[in-house]
Structure 1
Amino acid sequence: MERAQNEVKLHFEWLLCELSRSPESSEKWDSSAMPKGKAHRISSRSIERSKLRVYNYRRLLQKSLAELRNINTRRGSVDDIQLFAAVDEVLKPAKKHVELCRRAYEFRRLDVERRLKEKIRTKENAEWEHMHHLIGRLGLWHRAAYFLVENASQLENMLENAKVRMVPLSEPAIGTGLEMLQIQESQDFVSRVCSRSTLQEYVERLAPRLNEVQAIVSTALTGMHLDGRVMHAETMVASYFHFHGLRHVSDNPYIGCSKPSCFACKIYLESSEFALKARPSSGHAFTSWMPPVTPRASDAAAERAMLSVLESVAQRLTDEVVLNIWNDRIGRGRRHDSTTGITTTNRDT
């Protein structure tokens, strides 16, 4: 862990140093062409650091393309054939990952990209959306380097003598506001998530599957004190940033990454105390999510605010439980995050 943190720190220090340099001649970067000069150094080094992830996205994109080709063998149109050919062009062998990422970024300029969005809009097949997501993820590496170089001149004064500081991983005390849900009986569980006025109706409808529901929920919530709990990086940074009196270098109060926030992180980041710019949310509610521990963990006001976040997350999960009781469905498959292998556990128990 410490070695990985040091590598990340060194990379950011190099990146800040590179961005603070005076612009080179003909620094203007055409995003549709292979980057040169400073842009090339930034994109190549950054993508090289993530080469295993890039490789993984490429492999998943190949798999997605193969599945869609197989599905559309009998009823595919000329437009589909052109779309597949364009994705093949993105995936064709390249000496460097930076070229693959540039081609993925350029995909958005093609006519076939509109065709792909139309297929997603009509909900013809969920795999189309997955393929679009993978192409977008690959293109983001190119886009990120392009953005940094294009805006480097605005950052020069801010980056002078800039330092990189790693947010420390906190070791929270057991039992800070998170109580384990004790389920004594199946009906007891149902009473916790359903209004009393409809409790009997729910119980009768769900009776044949109550034990299955109880087992799933118990597994999901085992160790609610902290065993298996996960603090997401963006909330850790936001908390550290706020409670240590740090400020933004511009009027863009943004903390996050290229992926949308999960449901819990979105609520946390939008709290009035942080006053951060709202970000899109994936809508996923992780049963393993937990808030970061702050220097004011014992502060009554901070504790109430944190409990409000947790209650909102719990309500989201409760709503999904009720919805799926009525739909007579247990669980809903979620794709693994294509980089980390983590599955979102927006459980529909």
Structure 2
Amino acid sequence: MITADGLDHPISLKLCKRLNRFFEALSILSSLQTACGRNSQFTATSDTSVSEESHSRTLECFINKLAQTCDNKRHGPTVTSLAIVRPPDKLLYAFASNQRSHEDNEEARGFVFSILHYVNQVCAEPCFRDDECSTVFRHVLRNILNFNHERIQHYRQSLLERLDQCLRDCERCTSEQSKFVHSLGVWTRNEARLMSLDTSLKAVLLPIQQIALLPSDEPTEDDGVSSTSSKNEELVRAATALRQSPAFNDIVDKGKAGKIDESQHWCELQHFIGRLASYFRATQAILGARKSHPELFAMEGLEIHFIDSSKPIPNPMNAFQAGLPPTQRDTVRSAHAIISRMTSDKGKQEVYQQYADELQRCGLDDLIAKQCRKKTFRPIAHSEVLLLEWLRSEFAEETHSIPFYSGVKYIGCSKPTCRLCEYYFAAHSSGVRVRPPHRNVYPNWVVPDVLVEGETSQYKARMIDAVLGRVRDDVFMALREKVSERKRFDSNTYSSQPTYESLADISDDLDDLVSQVGGILIASRSRISCAEVRSNMRIGDDAWSVVAQNDETDEDNDGGVLMFTGRNMRSKDYLDV
């Protein structure tokens, strides 16, 4: 047994070695993601459309969206997963979050209860309406926005910053095109099209900028109606109108074209519009679920339970390497040394060490060392995995015995699944499904109760090894291809790309949108045309950036790479594979 710094009990040498191998492979993969990463256009697949969606897909969309409404803080602590199970005596909404305190859990539980109770109550009334213009829809949307006030304020401010950059970009492009045409003395069809597009986009973005500029401080009640909620609702509806318009595709195209320093703010504008619009979509999903699954809202026998979040473990690599002098620690953390322990094939070692040498110009070893030294490198169990293992222990050792509601073996989440959680569920024998992944890698990831040894040790070792095998494969692929998948944002914001037949079509579509968004600004009580929104919106379309590990991938960048410190560790013990 080994006594490791930061742990309140000794752990076996076998577990120490296994975790060291896991985290050193994870640290090099994370460093490769930085050294040779690409800002991937990979997106998780959307839910199916209304005409194609199945019973289970409708339910999964509701689960994801309800989880999203609970993820009310940035940087990952409130990333929330949800499973709905039906034991014989009740209907259980089981939630788990990355790092929620007991008090935060109780607050979130109260929020979920209030939403479910209100929807159940008003749906029982005669002449009930739940369309996007109804009082019920507005009440649910505003309550969601109030609970997510911190996020909405961040999105509002970020949207304003990107709008300012994009509007200046439109001005610059229009000016440059005008000068170019003047120098030629003739208008080309392409120049006319581009100039018209920039002018029209500016006309679309200016009204949204005015709405976003409205002050929005902490929610304050005024005669039972929050003025802040009203302003936030206007912003969300304006973002929804833009998100569902053909003009949004022009914003997407702007992000794909032009100079890198210009296209990034268009990409980020696309993201924040999608984030705001996703709350409108969440409200639709909740009210839609009441129609298709009314029993989910019957309060009798309904229980809402938030399980405790995991406790962060100490930096694992420091603890495991405490027996090594500082100079030797840097040596064993080099890409060469780690690769030599990832495979026993000498030929393979040499080939991939050469690949690593090529990446030293990107500072690969320095990135690994930096990752390993981070004070914030304290792994936690992610909410999806934490919830799966809680269900497994609560209901049955054999996961197929878990009484999932309607037989749908699904754990939803407020954000797409990270790469390590994806590998964990793929290796699990349960067949429980999760959201499609965004492929980002977070070093602050660990199996639940990993340091508790006993009856479940063999099971946990098998799961760690399964994920480790996939991580090593990814390391070798990244070294070989000099590329590692990652996304700038880990929530989904993407759209289809319709084609336009003529310049007149573009102008007409943008003119319609200007009128629609302008109407929201002119009259705070006016609403988006329900028919227009409904005609463009698909119940299962999760393209509206749905939410999970963080808003941006770099929000986990200060999460560090895991290390442990064991005082009784010998150099030979550490270096043995």
Bin the TM-score by the shorter chain: 0.7 to 0.9
Deviation readout 1:267-316 (Å, 9 max, x if unpaired) = 22334423233522221111222232389872423421232123323443
Aligned partners of 1:159, 1:52: CA distance in 2, in Å?
27
> Does the 8 Å contact 1:180/1:223 carry over to 2?
no
Structure 1 pair 192–80 and aligned structure 2 pair: CA distance change class (3 A): farther
Q: Who is 1:128 aligned against?
A: 266
Q: Who is 1:273 aligned against?
A: 429
Q: Write the mapping of 1:98-247 to structure 2, written as runs, cut at 5 A.
A: 98-120=233-255, 122=257, 125-160=263-298, 161=300, 162-171=302-311, 183-184=330-331, 186=334, 187-189=336-338, 191-192=340-341, 195-198=348-351, 201-202=354-355, 205=358, 209=361, 212-222=363-373, 228-245=378-395, 246-247=402-403
Shift of 1:129: 2.3
Which residue, 8, 12, 16 being the options, matches 2:116? Answer: 16
Structure 1 pair 132–16 and aligned structure 2 pair: CA distance change class (3 A): same
Q: Who is 2:413 aligned against?
A: 257
Q: Who is 1:81 aligned against?
A: 199
Aligned length: 336
> Does the 8 Å contact 1:177/1:307 carry over to 2?
no
Amino acid at match of 1:214: D
Task: Give % identity.
Answer: 18
Deviation readout 1:141-183 (Å, 9 max, x if unpaired) = 1111121112213333233321111111234777999995855
Structure 2: unaligned runs, 5 residues or longer: 1-100, 175-194, 215-229, 322-328, 396-401, 491-549, 561-577
Aligned partners of 1:58, 1:175: CA distance in 2, in Å?
36
Shift of 1:202: 3.8
Amino acid at match of 1:342: E
More strand by share: 2
Aligned partners of 1:339, 1:48: CA distance in 2, in Å?
22
Structure 1: unaligned runs, 5 residues or longer: none
Aligned partners of 2:310, 2:551: CA distance in 1, in Å?
27
Aligned partners of 1:309, 1:323: CA distance in 2, in Å?
21
Higher relative contact order (CA 8 A, sep 6+): 2
Structure 1 pair 27–140 and aligned structure 2 pair: CA distance change class (3 A): farther
Which residue, 86, 95, 104 being the options, matches 1:4? Answer: 104
Structure 1 pair 158–74 and aligned structure 2 pair: CA distance change class (3 A): closer
Structure showing greater Rg: 2
Structure 1 pair 341–204 and aligned structure 2 pair: CA distance change class (3 A): closer
Q: Who is 1:67 aligned against?
A: 165
Q: Who is 1:36 aligned against?
A: 135
Q: What's the TM-score once normalised by structure 1's chain length?
A: 0.79
> Does the 8 Å contact 2:201/2:247 carry over to 1?
yes
Q: Who is 2:88 aligned against?
A: none
Structure 1 pair 172–114 and aligned structure 2 pair: CA distance change class (3 A): closer
**Residue 431 of structure 2 corresponds to residue 291 of structure 1:** no
Q: Who is 2:154 aligned against?
A: 56
Shift of 1:345: 7.9
Structure 1 pair 8–297 and aligned structure 2 pair: CA distance change class (3 A): farther
Aligned partners of 1:338, 1:174: CA distance in 2, in Å?
25
Shift of 1:42: 1.6
Shift of 1:250: 3.0
Amino acid at match of 1:239: E
Amino acid at match of 2:331: Q
Shift of 1:138: 0.4
> Does the 8 Å contact 1:262/1:285 carry over to 2?
yes
Structure 1 pair 199–240 and aligned structure 2 pair: CA distance change class (3 A): closer
Q: What's the TM-score once normalised by structure 2's chain length?
A: 0.50
> Does the 8 Å contact 1:180/1:222 carry over to 2?
no
Q: Please identify, of 89-98 and 185-194, the stretch whose mean Cα deviation from structure 2 is larger.
A: 185-194
Structure 1 pair 189–313 and aligned structure 2 pair: CA distance change class (3 A): closer
Amino acid at match of 2:241: E
Structure 1 pair 58–171 and aligned structure 2 pair: CA distance change class (3 A): closer
Amino acid at match of 2:117: C
Aligned partners of 1:339, 1:197: CA distance in 2, in Å?
36
Amino acid at match of 2:426: E
